[in-house]
Structure 1
Amino acid sequence: MPSRLRDFDNAQLGAIAHLYRGEVYRSTIWRTRLDNTTNWSIVMMGIALTSTFSSHTASALPLLVVGMLLLVFLVFEARRYRYFNVWRARARWMETHLYAPMLRGQPLDPAWRDVLAADYESPTHHISFAQALGRRLRRNFIWILGIQSVAYWGKIAIHPFPAQDIHDLIGRAAIGPIPGVIVLLAGLAYNGMWIGVALWSWRVDRARWGPDGGGGGMG
């Protein structure tokens, strides 16, 4: 019998099994909520694309407005991901420190129960909001933002007729009294910021978990 596993009687092992099932269920529910915000973003992007490319005279402004909505959805998704990560981390902790050693017949790490108990006694998020933001960017939103950027440049490049030079692009990017060059620079800064956040979070995760993404702790 692996060390310290004998400390649990049948009733306690059954309770741990139910605890594991509960954590998997909660992580599944929150995973579904993550999918919802991604779906909202895709739907809004589809509406903006349809409106922008519906005619030669249609404005590119919907593609800019949807960028602000994407920011709101990204914030929602990052907040939800922090909660999802709590339940996921607990389930993975039990899988790697209880069930996997049991299946191999290996001794259990004596500290695994203490770490899990401390997490239940003093629950806290395992990653920061900025890390969650970066992870959701890398998984989903960086691609949606990329489509938005390509569509915007395509719109001002071909409608109402193919642009002849850079001056045409700058002129078409203007929004009312705001010069086109300001709009384009703001767009470059906006997308550059998200690329920077994604790269930063990737480096943080790589430094903490290694190149394969595996790790021995929660988060």
Structure 2
Amino acid sequence: MTDENAEEDRPKKEMDPGTIGAIAHLYRAEVFRSTHWRSRLDNTTNWAVVTTGIALSATFSNRDASPLPMVLVGLLVTVFLIFEARRYRYYNMFRARARLLESDFYAPLLLGKSSSTNGTWARMLADDYETPHYHISLVRAAGRRLRSNYSWILAIQAIAYFGKLAIHPVPLTEFSQAFERAAIGPVPGYLVFLAGVVFHTSWIVFAIVTLRLDKRYRKKRKSPMQAI
């Protein structure tokens, strides 16, 4: 008989008030930690929004202003996305623990069902505390944050950049003029323009690919803690 079968065959011991109180405090701690990391996610998004706003102000301050700030802010927003993806992995871990307690501990209690530390949820939670690990990869985390927030920021950045080329210093009369205005020092405008197209196409493709990875992963997941 395996250890798992032996554990399942053991009579379930009902939780005493002290154990329930300890788990309640544990739940409060996990909610606090998930809330803390959630606020850190919001901070990173705010940095991206503020820097984009500053770049917009600098670019459209006058008709002779360079569109270069809009190019640089696209790179800076990408850095913020990587920071936020790393923070999201922590948030995801703590939120998964809190969600498991909500669905497998508190929900049965509210329905008048008995709870036991011999349940599957208790073993999963104990394993996660004994060997802490991320529940989501950095790539999938970046994809989620990109689809949730950063796709809109990057879309605004792209529209503002091409809008700047189209109207300043005077409205375009020929498309070739856009290449002239996009030039950055010795770098030809057509190369800058091409780099922008490749950059924005890349994040769109990345968002689609990671969405498919998320869907595939959810179908194959083995633990409800990995659903968050």
The answer to whether TM tops 0.5 is: yes
Aligned match of 1:90 in 77, 94, 97?
97
Residue 26 of structure 1 is matched in structure 2 by 33
1:180 maps to which residue?
Answer: 189
Unaligned runs of 5+ in 1: none
Percentage of identical aligned residues: 52
CA drift of 1:160 comes to 0.4
Question: Which residue identity lines up with residue 8 of structure 1 in the other structure?
Answer: M
**Unaligned stretches of 5+ in structure 2?**
1-10
Q: Distance in 2 between matches of 1:104 and 1:209?
A: 27
Tell me by how many angstroms 1:107 deviates.
6.4
1:7-57 deviations in whole A, cap 9, x for unaligned? Answer: 321101100000000000000011111111111111101100000001010
The within-5 A match list for 1:1-219 is: 6-106=13-113, 110-209=119-218, 216-218=224-226, 219=228
Task: Give the partner amino acid of 1:95.
Answer: E
- C-alpha spacing 1:107/1:195, structure 2 compared with 1 (3 Å): farther
Alignment-mate amino acid for residue 192 of structure 2? V
Secondary structure in structure 2 of the residue aligned to 1:36: helix
TM-score (norm. length: structure 2): 0.88
Q: Deviations over 1:173-205 (max 9, x none)?
A: 111111111111111111111111111121122
Larger Rg: 2
- SS of the aligned residue for 1:7 comes to coil
Per the TM alignment, residue 72 of structure 1 is displaced from its structure 2 partner at its CA by 1.3
Deviation of 1:5 after TM superposition, in Å, equals 7.4
The answer to whether the Cα contact below 8 Å between 2:14 and 2:114 also exists between their aligned partners in 1 is no
C-alpha separation between the residues in 2 aligned to 1:193 and 1:105? 52
Shift of 1:6: 4.6
TM-score (norm 1): 0.91
**8 Å CA contact 2:55, 2:69 repeated in 1:** yes
CA-CA distance at 1:216 after TM superposition:
2.9
Equivalenced residues, count? 213
Q: 2-side partners of 1:128 and 1:60: how far apart? A: 35
Q: 1:5 to 1:171 in 2, by over 3 A?
A: farther
Look up the SS of the partner of 1:193 in the other structure.
helix
CA distance in 1, matches of 2:134, 2:31: 17
